Amino acid sequence: MDVDVDGVDQTVSTGALASWEAVDAHVASAFRRNRDHAEGSVADYIPILAAADPELFGVCAVDVGGGVHTAGDTEHEFSIQSISKAFVYALVCDRFGHEVVRERVGVNNTGLAFNSVVAIELNEGHPMNPMVNAGAIATTALMPGSTADAQWVAVQDGLSRFAGRPLELNQLVYQSEAATNQRNRAIAGLLESYGRVELDPLEVVDVYTKQCALNVSAHDLAVMGATLADGGMNPVTGEQVVSPEVCRDTLAVMAANGLYERSGEWLFEIGLPGKSGVSGGIVTIAPGKAGIGVFSPRLDSAGNSVRGQRATAYLSRALGLNIFASEAHRVTSAPAEHEERR
């Protein structure tokens, strides 16, 4: 992962987020430092996504107190794509609990692309984790509702509660993907053959395709992330969307799998759970502190927004958010206290 954190102190904050003004200034810097970075390419395997303006770029942080910090195109709406997987997973965990979901869907990284069929075969039909297409389809199949329509309503309503506003289906994206999602249909059929999907696989894929086509903005993603950061309480509406235990489990799965086969690199550079999607969004969670939503359509070869990763790396470093860092690891150019005394 190519990040730009030159000149940024690796400060470590074990307490609350920095002051309001400091967060605003760092969000503005994350935007400014990366807006001219033009590496990567816009996804085109879903035809309509190829029409996205590659220059769009937004960075938003929402703290657990509900404070909003924005720079760039943070109100521009785009289809949520794979980021939906994290939130549908949380809803299903809330319904079935930790053990059932761990057994049925799994939590381990495949090390392979998000739409890999080989990964299913290599693991005897186990979908492995909810952040790849196979696991996400198996997870959506567990949403409440006796019909596909009822399950779709539950998905739309659940994700809207995370966002704190009604999210709408992007019909153009849905139709474009529904016409070209033969691979996801094959994945669902394969899961059915292994007894991992008990409903009509084509109906489940249809609900999954709609879930990926829900429109969000970077601002929405930050609110959704802040809800996971705050033990399931939406900081804007005050609603308890899922339990703190579900947030804990969801964040662990995101940390291990949220950026597909690049999840290790992401964790190494950024040290926070995150989830990306092929339209160019990434949501990141600083537990107990904030949600970060970024959007820019140019992707790396794994399908993760390039500017989005860079902006998030900057914020993690500048705001001291890395969960693996502690005061003992503080990197500072000033001499340590015991050296000064000598």
Ligand X SMILES: NC(=O)CC[C@H](N)C(=O)O
Sketch the per residue contact string, 234 through 263, with ligand X: x for CB under 6 A, - otherwise.
Answer: ------------------------------
**Which residues touch 4 (CB under 8 Å, ≥6 apart)?**
33, 34, 37, 310, 313, 314
- Catalytic residue from among 260, 263, 276, 306: 260
Residue 174 assigned to a binding site: no
Q: Give the SS3 label for residue 74.
A: coil
Using CB under 6 A as the binding rule, the residues of this chain from 107 to 126 that contact ligand X are 114-115
- Using CB under 6 A as the binding rule, whether residue 81 contacts ligand X is answered as yes
Residue 170 assigned to a binding site: no
Is the Cβ of residue 89 or residue 114 nearer to ligand X in the bound state?
A: 114
Residue 121 assigned to a binding site: no
Token pair for 73: 């195109």
Is the Cβ of residue 81 or residue 250 nearer to ligand X in the bound state?
A: 81
Least Å distance, CB 45 to ligand X, is: 7
For residues 338 and 340, what is the distance between their CA atoms, to the nearest angstrom? 5
Using CB under 6 A as the binding rule, the residues of this chain from 162 to 181 that contact ligand X are 177
- Catalytic residue from among 88, 246, 278, 306: 278
Token pair for 240: 């308890």
Q: Give the SS3 label for residue 63.
A: strand
| Amino acid letter, 218 | A
Residue number, nearest CB to ligand X: 82
Per the CB < 8 A criterion, the answer to whether 283 and 86 are in contact is: yes
Question: Does the active-site annotation cover 174?
Answer: no
How far out from the chain centre does Cα 200 lie?
27
Using CB under 6 A as the binding rule, the residues of this chain from 268 to 307 that contact ligand X are 277-278, 303
Which amino acids are annotated catalytic? Answer: 82, 85, 208, 260, 278
Binding positions for substrate: 82, 133, 177, 184, 208, 260, 278
- What does the binding site for ligand X look like in residue numbers (CB under 6 A)? 81-82, 114-115, 133, 177, 184, 212, 277-278, 303
